[in-house]
Structure 1
């Protein structure tokens, strides 16, 4: 009898405790898998590969955007608070649905979608593949049931394929076959610059489908100064400002110029030797700021994905808008005019990028990204920007995103690569792009104050 009673109570205990134990395990793996560090590390890996592959700033912004949208959309099934960007972004008409009755881990699906899109749009697939295997193993090690893992990977792949199909229709591939930019040599128009006299980069970027902008020329820059060597003209005064400013830079101004250089591939010449230095693009710098912002605000997985998506959209449309104006105005760079008419030995502190001068690209995209981040995290979000530490530069502290964007803009004057009009008009254009974005795109299903967005 004692044995029978013992067996009875043992079976009863198993019936009671085994389901509870399973529920606890389920809760544990979900909490572990919902760690936004998985997303941040994946975006950082994408940045590393973009740097390694030396993508130009406009192309880098395109990669970030499609990968970030995929990561965001893969998180949305069964979400009550956040909205899909389907129907809000140009050409994005649908996303795959989840299968009823199946269980998913959407953070895993999100990482899978991001890495799949990133791997497809970059060259060094093996680097992303190796990282993907490592991070997917970490998801498995959370104790996730095999079926959940399988379902989540499959859904992330489906989202990635939908995003890639959408990306394939943005005319990027077609623009690879357009004719090269023809240098006209007309007075005041852009020509290749020292030391390598590279061809113009992405002269047809305005043919790329915009994401939120109505058209690439929706926010044209202000009237650029008319090229003139008359000492009383606006152009000549701004030219002299570049020349004189760079001749008496303070140590702080030099630090600012270097910090925001963001030249994806800067070739340095020493005698007969050339050394290539790879760096993040201007867009990559702001993606880095988005990451450190999420960490400081303790943003959860979905908030972090939302941040990357919104910031990358600001960058992408900012580059399209800026490049449209650059190849319409075709304004000559300070280095060319100064060498021809003021001082043939003068060199800018920074290497002049290989595309027309007006407006300043960093001014446009930094301002657009700053508007987007301000909308998400507030006007007075202080942060330490450590993005450039990977490239040997010390961090800088800012009291707001707008302050950081304004420093990025003026850095182009200190670097000797832009006139003041290109900087100031670039700021205006970028803020218009960013404002248009936050007015048109809705990621939350209910209106929240900025304080609520940060605290949630």
Structure 2
């Protein structure tokens, strides 16, 4: 259409519509036109910031915090996406979020940039002055880039909106009753019940996590299925055989089995391991970058995977302390071999279901539902000089992650198999969240 005709059409429409009606008629899909580099770069930076933390971040707390960060990223850009819904309409007890000024221009990348910088300082514990300087440097670098093509007024307005979202998300998070303490918890003393494990025999972690507010109302009633085998000391029982399976594997681990166990352990001191959930996030970011998503699409996927990072532990630990199942090392030391040790230390909480699989599983199921069961390259440890691991599909990667815990000597195979199904169920629930108006 010639420019003069287009101008005439717009003038005619504006004369027929009110300002609010015109705003609804005109396209508002700018996040779909902006690149997603800003969010990808922020997730990479935050990984590097916490690599050197000593002590390393608390795993479950860090997962929870990145859940909120993912939701906040989406809220910082969604008003610019035509027909999109705030997650406040979808998540459990989420308050209404700040809204941008009507009839004002925004640069949504600048909003995301400001929100991520603010949320990093609000949510990530133990930041040093040097860490905060790196966060400021990233924010300023992107603002300099934005100023090349956007007015200072628009950038300032966008920044203010992003920061208001960060504050609102953080304020909401403070009332979620997230509690990892085991103070006051009485460990059941029954045949087959969990008890503290060697070498540290540490007190239980997370018995009250089940009371934390989830993101999805469906997570309140999502339960892990019953343990398939009754506890038994009988050598012919399935429960004994499940322990013997872990024992036999642990007695003759191959180099490849050790490598798999170590790859998915994500443990160790600063500069040795990789702080959770960065293994997950590095895979997510790699996949999203390969899909060349725009800002709006990437923000939505970080939100969905963030929901999995928070609700996964809540559902998992509800099951752990419901069933209070004995760990392999305890059973094996009592009934098979008193000198046997697991390849990796056993975490201080009950066996069933699996923490890794019930958190990693739903994250990957969200990606699988969106993009199919695609091949994956896991390059999480490239910074350490380790070669990437290649998988024919997301399913194969999740299966290896599950198997790694059996090689490590800390989970039964039936626990891992059932935990994959639990993760898929939660991931499916997250994928059903509708973020578009009818």
TM bin (shorter chain)? 0.7 to 0.9
SS at match of 2:134: helix
What do residues 43-82 of structure 1 show as CA deviations (whole Å, max 9, x unaligned)?
2233345552533332122111111111111111231154
SS at match of 1:384: strand
User: 1 CA distance for matches of 2:271 and 2:344?
Assistant: 14
CA contact (8 A) 1:217 1:325 kept: no
User: 2 CA distance for matches of 1:377 and 1:131?
Assistant: 33
Trace 1:57-76 onto structure 2 (pairs within 5 A).
Answer: 57-76=59-78
TM-score by length of 1: 0.82
CA contact (8 A) 1:74 1:155 kept: yes
Q: Partner residue of 2:323?
A: 329
CA contact (8 A) 1:219 1:433 kept: no
Aligned length: 402
Trace 1:251-330 onto structure 2 (pairs within 5 A).
Answer: 251-263=255-267, 265=268, 277-281=272-276, 283-330=277-324
Structure 1 stretch 43-52 or stretch 252-261: which is displaced more? 43-52
Q: Partner residue of 1:160?
A: 166
Moved over 6 A (4+): none
Q: Partner residue of 1:130?
A: 133
User: 2 CA distance for matches of 1:100 and 1:442?
Assistant: 24
Structure 1 stretch 123-132 or stretch 230-239: which is displaced more? 123-132
User: 1 CA distance for matches of 2:326 and 2:207?
Assistant: 15
Choose the corresponding residue for 1:227, options 204, 225, 231.
Answer: 231
CA contact (8 A) 1:83 1:443 kept: yes
User: 2 CA distance for matches of 1:351 and 1:319?
Assistant: 20
CA contact (8 A) 2:223 2:315 kept: yes
Shift, 1:157, TM fit: 0.9
User: 2 CA distance for matches of 1:148 and 1:128?
Assistant: 28
Residues 1:277 and 1:228: Cα distance change in structure 2 (over 3 Å): farther
Choose the corresponding residue for 1:368, options 354, 362, 367.
Answer: 362
Shift, 1:217, TM fit: 4.2
User: 2 CA distance for matches of 1:415 and 1:354?
Assistant: 15
SS at match of 2:78: coil
Gaps spanning 5+ residues in structure 2: where?
1-29
SS at match of 1:387: coil
Trace 1:38-49 onto structure 2 (pairs within 5 A).
Answer: 38-49=38-49
Q: Partner residue of 1:169?
A: 175
Choose the corresponding residue for 1:84, options 79, 83, 86.
Answer: 86
User: 2 CA distance for matches of 1:236 and 1:62?
Assistant: 36
User: 2 CA distance for matches of 1:224 and 1:49?
Assistant: 42
User: 1 CA distance for matches of 2:43 and 2:106?
Assistant: 22
* Higher gyration radius (CA): 1
Gaps spanning 5+ residues in structure 1: where?
1-29, 267-274, 447-456
Residues 1:415 and 1:306: Cα distance change in structure 2 (over 3 Å): same
TM-score by length of 2: 0.85
Shift, 1:101, TM fit: 4.2
Q: Partner residue of 1:4?
A: none
